[in-house]
């Protein structure tokens, strides 16, 4: 569509950045701020395309970037989020302070994808719990009325329509049988994610059906109806629950913000 090809200009530097180029970029951004990547190279006096500058800044030069040594906790978080979100590296990176999407993508492709594909039986030498391995590897079972088997595809995180959000209080007012229904096949949420019902996607995080009867009063999060540690974990993973402030119910707006 007549789009200007990036980096096609003759005379632009390509490949690895030099220390001097890094200095120029950092000092320019420190002085003028991020943004306007298209014109930044010209204004900063860099022989690079805007995309290259943006990438260099975001993945390497930005303050607060952690490099290397991805911890076990971070690794587990990546696996869990990947099982939920798929290759949405920027979203996953958003839950890992100091990590970039590029780094997580690389780490997944070179290390974690192999680990996760290891058969779960036998020893647990990969460092993941068996449950975690299953969650990461297995696709959730499609709901009966699921639209087209777009299988293996994780959540499409762009919520198109939110039809129902059942408050935990409402759940608690239901009978035990109703609670069972609510927490059985789906969680108490009906978010239409481009044809995919969010509830079933979260179902694998639930414990067994036996857990349902144990629903207590202490969990009041968005996924409170399923009343499992996994649900609580998921809320934290998605930023829907502040680990320090148990009991806070996120608003729908919070929920959407957490996804988008």
Partner DNA sequence: AATGATCTCAACCGCTGGTAG
Partner DNA sequence: GCTACCAGCGGTTGAGATCAT
Residues in contact with DNA by CB under 7 A are 1-7, 13-17, 34-39, 48, 50-52, 54-56, 59-60, 67-68, 87-91, 101-103, 105-107, 109-111
Beta carbon nearer to DNA, 17 or 205: 17
What is the DSSP secondary structure assignment for residue 189, as one 8-state letter? Answer: E
193, containing H or E segment? strand 189-193
Beta carbon nearer to DNA, 44 or 187: 44
Beta carbon nearer to DNA, 38 or 204: 38
Residue 229 CB, nearest distance to DNA (Å)? 27
Q: Who's near 203: CB < 8 A, 6+ residues apart?
A: 140, 141, 185, 186, 187
What would you measure as the largest C-alpha separation in the chain, in angstroms?
72
Residue 55 CB, nearest distance to DNA (Å)? 5
Q: How far apart, in whole angstroms, are the C-alpha atoms of residue 153 and residue 155?
A: 7
Beta carbon nearer to DNA, 32 or 246: 32
Residue 26 CB, nearest distance to DNA (Å)? 13
Q: Who's near 256: CB < 8 A, 6+ residues apart?
A: 159, 162
CA–CA distance from 54 to each of 9, 18, 33, 61, 116 (Å)? 17, 15, 12, 10, 32
Residue 94 CB, nearest distance to DNA (Å)? 8
Quote the tokens at residue 195: 């044809």
Beta carbon nearer to DNA, 33 or 208: 33
Residue 219 CB, nearest distance to DNA (Å)? 30
């Amino acid at each position: 569509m007549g789009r200007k090809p990036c980096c096609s200009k003759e005379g632009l530097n390509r490949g690895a950045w030099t220390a001097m180029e890094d200095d120029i970029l950092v000092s320019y951004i420190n002085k003028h701020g991020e943004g306007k990547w298209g014109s930044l190279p010209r204004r900063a006096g860099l022989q690079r395309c805007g995309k290259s500058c943006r990438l260099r800044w975001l993945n390497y030069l930005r303050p607060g970037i952690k490099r290397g040594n991805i911890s076990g906790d971070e690794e587990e978080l990546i696996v869990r989020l990947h099982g939920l979100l798929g290759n949405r590296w920027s979203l996953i990176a958003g839950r890992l302070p100091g990590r970039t999407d590029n780094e997580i993508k690389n780490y997944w492709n070179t290390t974690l994808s192999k680990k996760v594909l290891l058969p779960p039986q036998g020893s647990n030498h990969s460092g993941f719990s068996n449950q975690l391995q299953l969650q990461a590897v297995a696709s959730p079972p499609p709901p009966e009325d699921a639209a087209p088997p777009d299988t293996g595809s994780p959540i499409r995180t762009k919520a198109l329509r939110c039809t129902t959000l059942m408050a935990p209080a409402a759940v608690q007012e239901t009978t035990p049988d109703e609670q069972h229904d609510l927490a059985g096949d789906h969680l108490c949420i009906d978010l239409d994610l481009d044809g995919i019902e969010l509830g079933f996607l979260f179902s694998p995080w639930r414990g067994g059906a036996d857990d349902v009867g144990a629903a207590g009063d202490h969990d009041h999060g968005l996924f409170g109806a399923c009343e499992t540690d996994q649900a609580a974990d998921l809320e934290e993973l998605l930023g829907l629950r502040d680990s320090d402030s148990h009991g806070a119910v996120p608003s729908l707006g919070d929920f959407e913000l957490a996804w988008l």
